[in-house]
Structure 1
């Protein structure tokens, strides 16, 4: 039925992330919230960022970004390092615990995709992947960030 795909995509994303977070909690990452994943994704792709850059990406104030970084640093997911070009700034990078969490998420996503392929067939799932990729490309490859 026309108009159902956005809702189905939203429900599928919710179901996948709910499973991922339950499994992460079972594996010792129970202090990770869904919002942290958007920060982890940004930092993992960029190799690090200032709190200001992270805040801009997440669509939050500098103060909120600093609070998030403080929280993630206390939990051992990120660390602050000197900025290579600006002595006043610090770069936030994933710490080993952050990289371990990212690795588990990728492995869990792979498990879920494999289970999905078992439900609908690998060839049909590949058509879904290609179709979503085409849409995202046509939309200008928007960033992965929360829709506050």
Structure 2
């Protein structure tokens, strides 16, 4: 393997070259991987991420305009609402899952802060905003 032609980036993230993944990926079959820009990222997210991400990606593909630097807050909120409605319509167990985890927390917070948005909607918002940033990032390559 020629180490001079590999694209190594000095990043604190856990990633490695695609060539290494092709040779040694059989050693860890239990971890999923994301291949982006010829680098491999081990995916260690919880299962709910993998259930939500296809819907978020579909909404971003449909509603995102790549020629605008950043969407407005109203556009992001409408994307979140659209994705939340699709997820709850197709998988009602997600809403029950999120509500079951938040029963005690929600009752205490409702007394202190009033009603809040569902935590599932907040999770969708976090993943959607990170997906929008990922689509707009500038890939810097070294030409040395």
Question: Do both proteins adopt the same fold according to a TM-score greater than 0.5, normalized to the shorter chain?
Answer: no
> Structure 1-normalised TM-score?
0.28
Q: Which has the higher helix share?
A: 1
> Structure 2-normalised TM-score?
0.28
